[in-house]
Amino acid sequence: MISAEGLQRLGQHMHAIFFLQQAVEKSLKALLLKQTESEPPRIHSLRNLAERCGLNLTAEQTLLLENLNDYYVESRYPGDWVEESSEVMAEEVARLIPAAKEFIQCLRSLI
């Protein structure tokens, strides 16, 4: 999360979103590990991980996970994405960071 915020300040929006996705993914996997006491699957789908954790997501949380998944794929395969304006990406990161922080805090309370 700290990396994402630092990258946001530097204007590295896609990299910031990549680290946001990673923070949420690792938090979901930590919860799954606690629940199952076995190694989490090697998947990156946040929605799939949340389902495996048995989470009842709000509409906002579902949208957050979908957004992070979409941007994660784009950040991993940059030739496949349509470059958005810096201003649009700045607004998107500014929206995603607090939502991801809140979601991670919710997950931490379950771990």
Is the per-residue pLDDT at 9 higher than 60? yes
Work out whether the CA dihedral 33, 38, 40, 46 comes out positive or negative.
negative
Q: Does the pTM exceed 0.85?
A: yes
User: Which of 81, 83, 71, 69 shows the shortest CA–CA distance to 16?
Assistant: 71
Cβ(100)–Cβ(68) under 8 Å? yes
pLDDT in tens, 37-86: 999 999 999 999 999 999 999 999 999 999 999 887 665 666 655 556 68
Q: DSSP secondary-structure letter at 111?
A: -
